[in-house]
Homo-oligomer: A and B are copies of this chain.
Amino acid sequence: MSEKTPVSALDVAEIDSFDHETDVLVVGFGCAGAAAALEAHAAGARTTVLERQSGGGGSAAMSGGEIYLGGGTPIQTACGFADTAEEMEKFLLSALGPDADAEKVGLYCRGSLEHYRWLTGLGVPFKPSLWDTPTWVPPTDDGLMWMGEFAHPHCDVAVPAPRGHRVTADGFGGRVLMSVLGDAVAASDVAVHTDTGATRLIVERHNTARHSTDRSSSDRGSADGPRVVGVVARHFGETVTYRARHGVVLTTGGFADNADMVAQHAPQLVGLPANSDGGDDGRGIVMAQAVGAAVRHMSAGQVGIALVPGMMVRGMIVNDQGQRFVNEDTYPGLVGQAALFHHGLKVWVILDQQAYEEVPEDQRWGVVPHFVAETADELEREIGMPDGALRTTIGEYNRHAARGEDPYFHKTARWLRPLNPPLAAIDVRRGITPPEHGDAGGGGAEVFTLGGLHTTGDGAVLDLDGGTVAGLYAAGRATSGLHSWGYISGTSLGDGTFFGRRAGRAAAGR
C-alpha cells in the first residue's frame, strides 16, 4: 500500500460490481477489530474482517496484556479488594485527564463487570493473585496489578483498588489475549481476509445533482452527507472492493508509525520509537477524515519510559537540573508523560545501593547504573548537572524522607527512606532491553498515539458538524477513546475491546 494511493473516498457510482459483500466490514484485526467482529456476528450480521498483515493480532498482540477492569471483579474479590464502578470512574477521570471523555469513562466503568465476564467467557485467563510492587509487567503470572491507584493525587479522589487485570502469561500477555480472541473469531463464521489492506472508503453521495431552485437550500447543508458503503483494499497488488451493507468499522490503530502525521499532530513524540506492530500508519484515521470525520486529542501520546519502576520508586527521578517533578510511586506511564512532555526526557533515576539491591535481579532487566559516586556533589559533577543541583535535591528529599514525608510530591511513606552514599544515577535515555521486547526504549521511551477519530460511545464516527458519518464506526487507537492527556496501562486493550464490541453491535443494527 504505497503512500501514493489517494485516501479520498471513491464514489460508489464508479464501481461496476463489488468483489465482496457483507453486512459489517471490520477493517483491522487487533483487539478492537476482533471484539467488533465477534459482537457484530453475535448480533446476527454477516461479518468480514480485513487485515493487512498475514494474520491477526496487531499491536495488541505485542502488548503486556493488561486490561483495566474493576467494579468488583472476581479477581479483585479473590485478592481481597472491594471495588465499585463509581470509584473506578473517579480514578480514571483523574488519571486519564484533564478532560477525559466522561461519557465513555462512565460507560466503560459501569460496563466493566459485564466486559470481564465476556472476556473470561471467551476463555481469556486471569489468575487471582496480586503483584504488589511497581513494574511494567510482573515477572510472575500474577493476574492483578496496581496501576497507581494508591498514588497522589488519585488516592485523594477515589478509594484505591488494584484494577490492572493481566492476562495470564509467561511474560507479555497480549499474545494470549489475541490468541483467545482469534480462536473465537475462527470458531465463528466471521470471514477473515488477511493480506488485505484497506486504502479508501467507498461512499454514496446524495444531493450532488441540481435538485432545487429554492434559495434557502444553500443554507440547509447537504441534507444527508456521504454514506459509507464499503472500502477499496489492496490484496497482493490487486485492487479489491468490499460492499458493507450495514456499516464499516475502522479498527486500524493509531499513527505512531507515520512520521509525517506525528510531526504535524503530536510534535512531542517526534523521533521516538513506536510501540506498535509497525502498521500504525494512521491510514484509517485519514480515510475517515476524507469523508468529513472529526478527530480530537491528536497531540496526546502514551509514553513507555525506559526505566525500571522498582528502581525509581525506591529512589527518585530528576530532570536535567536535578529537580524532582513527580511522585515516583505513580503509574510509570504518567511519569513517562511528565518526563517527555515537560522535561524532554532528559531525566535520571537516582538511587543508592540498598534501593538497587532491593530490586530482584530478574526485575532489573539488565539495567545497571551509568554513574556511581561517593557523594551527591561528585555524582552531579559526573553527570554534568549544575553545581548544587543534586546536593540540594537529595538533601531536601532525605530531610523529609527521614520523617516519612514528601511534602513536594507526596510519594507514600512505604517508599520513602533517606538515600545514603554511595549514590548512583541511571540515564533514562540510554534505554533498557526488557525480555521479549526487542530494543525497547531506544531514546528513552517507546510511544504510541492516543488521539484519533471522534466517536460516540457506540462507536459512531462524528463529522465536523457534530453529526455522525452514516455507515461509519470506529474503535481502538484509531479513535480518541477514554483518554485525553493521561494514560494508564490496560486502558488501550480495555478501551479497544470494550468500545470495539459496542461499535460492532451498533454497526450490525440496521
User: Could you list which residues of chain A lie within 8 angstroms of chain B, going by C-beta atoms?
Assistant: 5-8, 10-11, 13-16, 98-99, 199-200, 205, 207-213, 215-222, 225, 232, 234, 239, 241, 263-268, 270, 286, 289-290, 292, 294-299, 321, 323-324, 341-343, 386-389, 392, 395-396, 399-400, 407-409, 454, 463-465, 484-485
| CB-based nearest B residue for A217 | B14
Taking the closest CB of chain B, its distance from the CB of A480, in whole angstroms, is 8
Taking the closest CB of chain B, its distance from the CB of A385, in whole angstroms, is 9
List 9 A-B pairs, Cβ < 8 Å. A8-B221, A8-B222, A13-B209, A216-B239, A263-B296, A264-B296, A267-B297, A342-B342, A387-B407
B residues in contact with A265, CB < 8 Å: 296-299
B residues in contact with A14, CB < 8 Å: 207, 210-212, 217-218
Taking the closest CB of chain B, its distance from the CB of A403, in whole angstroms, is 10
Q: How many copies does the complex hold?
A: 2
| CA A298 to CA B212, docked complex, whole Å | 38
Whether the pair B210, A239 counts as a contact (CB closer than 8 A) is no
**9 new A-B contacts at CB < 8 Å, known A8-B222, A265-B296, A289-B292:** A6-B221, A7-B465, A14-B210, A99-B270, A264-B297, A267-B297, A321-B323, A321-B409, A387-B407
Closest 8 CB pairs of A and B: A6-B221, A299-B299, A264-B296, A386-B407, A342-B342, A13-B210, A219-B239, A392-B392
| CB-based nearest B residue for A388 | B396
Whether the pair B11, A207 counts as a contact (CB closer than 8 A) is yes
Whether the pair A218, B205 counts as a contact (CB closer than 8 A) is no
| CA A6 to CA B11, docked complex, whole Å | 22
Taking the closest CB of chain B, its distance from the CB of A255, in whole angstroms, is 13
Contact partner of A323 among B239, B323, B395, CB < 8 A?
A: B323
Taking the closest CB of chain B, its distance from the CB of A278, in whole angstroms, is 22
B residues in contact with A205, CB < 8 Å: 208
| CA A343 to CA B463, docked complex, whole Å | 34
| CB-based nearest B residue for A294 | B264
Contact partner of A13 among B208, B266, B298, CB < 8 A?
A: B208
Whether the pair B222, A10 counts as a contact (CB closer than 8 A) is yes
Whether the pair A264, B454 counts as a contact (CB closer than 8 A) is yes
Contact partner of A98 among B208, B218, B270, CB < 8 A?
A: B270
| CA A387 to CA B8, docked complex, whole Å | 59
| CB-based nearest B residue for A222 | B8
Taking the closest CB of chain B, its distance from the CB of A380, in whole angstroms, is 10
Taking the closest CB of chain B, its distance from the CB of A34, in whole angstroms, is 28
B residues in contact with A297, CB < 8 Å: 264-265, 267
Contact partner of A232 among B15, B219, B386, CB < 8 A?
A: B219
Taking the closest CB of chain B, its distance from the CB of A281, in whole angstroms, is 13
